[in-house]
A and B are shown apart, each in its own frame.
Chain A
Amino acid sequence: MINSSSGGGLQRKMAGIGRNWGLYLLLLPAVTLLLCFTYKPMYGVIIAFKDFKPALGIMGSPWVGLKYFEKFFNSYQFSITIKNTIYISLYSFATFPIPILFAICVNQLRANRFKRVFQTVTYMPHFISTIVIVGILMIVLSPGNGLLGHIYSLFGAEAPNLLGSASLFSSLYVWSDVWQHAGWDSIIYIAALSSVDPSLYEAATVDGASRWQKIRFIDIPMLIPTAVTLLILRVGGLLGVGFEKAYLLQNNLNISGSEVLSTYVYKIGLLSSQYSFSAAINLFNTVINFLLLILVNQISRKYSEHSLW
């Protein structure tokens, strides 16, 4: 009995595969590329458990087990680095709704020409390289002859040195990111809003709905699937505080608030390349992130209809 029923399930599955062979054909290129160029070299993760010496190759390097993980956990900087990384990640995570609000507002702009100009302009900062962004931040925030310094001196006060404050580092990091990427990040939501059926708005207008009500009952539900998907993905990138900006904004005065995983790994490798050590830290990082993603995905599946798998 049991056998035959499971056999039937299998048969049904086979039939499903046969019926939808076209879908597998659509998947074929992406799957092949991933198998060849991502899964095939994936054996490389083992260098986190080896003492990797390039000359010996990955297979030839000696195994050291968890040595580099222990080294990292026992490092004096471990707790503070992790703390800073998590704090900045969560902070930046909290700005997640901003591009959504941004998209809703843009969608409400009625003057078409203005709307286009607005969108184009706000997406531009995305293209400025980090080194220039940091350069501008420094010039603007300089307490001596920066914009901030000038404003303070108008009132006869002395400007604080924001760049040298450990507690303000996270704000500096996160809000400059928002400034730079909010416009760009909102594009996907604007695209989602563009697929709202116009007849819905017309019907709502006939019913005497206010604009606020239209936002609430038409726009927001339309954005939720995309927003939830992106939110889950964002959780999966939780420990990833970008290296370049953190490193460029870092100085000896704010280091207790600005040392994050990526900058720490970089410094460890400065004296001599530490392939295995940085691989171990990265692996630790990804495993945590992946577990978080699985967790959030389970939760989301339970309480909403949306999940990544």
Chain B
Amino acid sequence: MQTGTAAKMEMRIQKTRNSDRLLETLLYIWAAIVLVAVLYPLYFIVIASFSDPSAVGGGHVWLFPKGFTLDGYKELFKHSNIWIGYRNTIFYTAVGTAIGLAVNLSAAYALSRKDLVGRKFLSLFFIFTMFFNGGLVPTFLTIRDFHLYDTFWVMVLPFSVAVFDIIVARTFFQTGIPPELWEAAQMDGCGNLRFYVQMVLPLSKAIISVLALWFAVGQWNSYFNGLIYLQNPDLYPLQLVLRDILVTNQMQNALGTGEAAQIALRLANLLRYSVIIVATLPIMCLYPFVQKHFNKGVMIGAVKS
């Protein structure tokens, strides 16, 4: 009788193990396929940036660079304002991310609290702005009235509220910070602000990292605000500088078929891939630092008790 149960148990565990193993195998096959599907185009961009643009466009570059050339990079770094752009973007990203986190995390936490009087109204107040805005001209006039036009701050302050991020973070706070925790803290005479800074934030490393990543990447890639609100080229972010260098396809259409168009087109084709590498390599390196915070396993259980 007893051996029978043990055998049954053994069998069940065996079955579980088998299914686990199958799952595991399928998983790694899937991962390998995905990896190849993603890696190849990335690899393509790298080899294309070292290849003769007409070989790339003609479909002759598949595994190795063809007509090896560094012209794309040389042409790119001829423009000294790239370095100014890099410097500016790094500042904008650092400051913008700090401001963005401060503003949005605190708003998200406040909105996550069920005992916040006016919560529904406030949520709508935020969400409404995801849909409706005044458009370019009135926003421009407002920025000018605040004396933010053509300043460093216009890039990091006025548009730092990200409602999407607030809502996502709010969801995290709602599930990750149990109400009992606040009740207990309150009992100890802890106020809202202290609780937020000393308890909530340390418990929310995962969502803070995600938001930081979103902000940093958003700041890094943004050019539109610079385009509208900056006049001084010394303040231009990298993407705006690159945009000016990389004359787009529209331009050749407008230029027609003259010689200038051909020169511009060749340059555009040459720079297309090297621009991607120059512009995104630094920000891509950010992810591993963010990732670190995902795998630590937050100790909510421990705190609860």
Contact = CB atoms under 8 A, between A and B. Distances in A.
> Bound pair: A and B?
yes
A41 B24 CA distance: 55
Interface stretch (B73-81, B133-141, B259-267): B133-141
B40 to A, nearest CB: 10
Contact of B120 (A116, A119, A309): A309
A179 B38 contact: yes
Instruction: Tell me the interface secondary structure of chain A in the complex.
Output: helix
B133 A41 contact: yes
Interface stretch (B64-72, B83-91, B121-129): B121-129
A225 B38 contact: no
A40 interface: yes
Given A121-B42, A128-B45, A139 B171 contact: no
Given A33-B161, A192-B172, A210-B16, A236 B130 contact: yes
Given A37-B159, A45-B132, A17 B59 contact: no
B276 A125 contact: no
Interface stretch (A23-31, A62-70, A78-86): A23-31
B103 A29 contact: yes
Contact of B116 (A23, A36, A195): A23
B291 interface: yes
Contacts of B62: 147
B206 A191 contact: yes
B97 interface: no
B252 to A, nearest CB: 13
A286 B175 contact: no
B245 interface: no
Given A30-B166, A37-B158, A194-B296, A122 B38 contact: yes
A105 B31 contact: yes
A40 B134 CA distance: 8
Interface string B282-305: 011001100101111111110000
Given A34-B126, A36-B142, A127 B284 contact: yes
A26 B283 contact: no
A303 interface: no
A22 interface: yes
B109 interface: yes
Q: How many of chain A's residues touch chain B, expressed as a range? A: 35 or more
A248 B291 CA distance: 34
A150 B62 CA distance: 11
Instruction: Tell me the interface secondary structure of chain B in the complex.
Output: helix
Query: Most B CB atoms within 10 A — which of A21, A129, A236?
Result: A129
Given A22-B191, A34-B161, A36-B158, A187 B210 contact: yes
A34 B129 contact: yes
Contact of A226 (B30, B160, B171, B209): B171
A38 B133 contact: yes
Contacts of A135: 272
Nearest to A201: B297
A177 to B, nearest CB: 14
Contacts of A284: none
Nearest to B17: A210
Query: Most B CB atoms within 10 A — which of A33, A47, A286, A309?
Result: A309
A85 B191 CA distance: 50
A161 to B, nearest CB: 14
15 contacts: A16-B115, A20-B192, A30-B103, A30-B126, A31-B125, A45-B133, A116-B288, A118-B35, A120-B284, A126-B217, A127-B284, A132-B45, A190-B294, A194-B298, A210-B23
Given A20-B113, A136-B41, 6 more contacts: A37-B142, A45-B134, A191-B294, A212-B23, A225-B171, A289-B131
Interface of A: 13, 16-17, 20-27, 29-31, 33-34, 36-45, 47, 54, 58, 105, 108-110, 112, 114, 116, 118-129, 131-132, 135-136, 139, 142, 144-147, 149-150, 179, 183, 187-188, 190-192, 194-199, 208-212, 222, 225-226, 229-230, 233, 236, 275, 279, 286, 289-290, 293, 306, 308-309
Per CB-CB distance, the 8 closest pairs between chain A and chain B, nearest first, are A22-B192, A44-B134, A41-B134, A41-B138, A44-B138, A309-B123, A145-B59, A30-B107
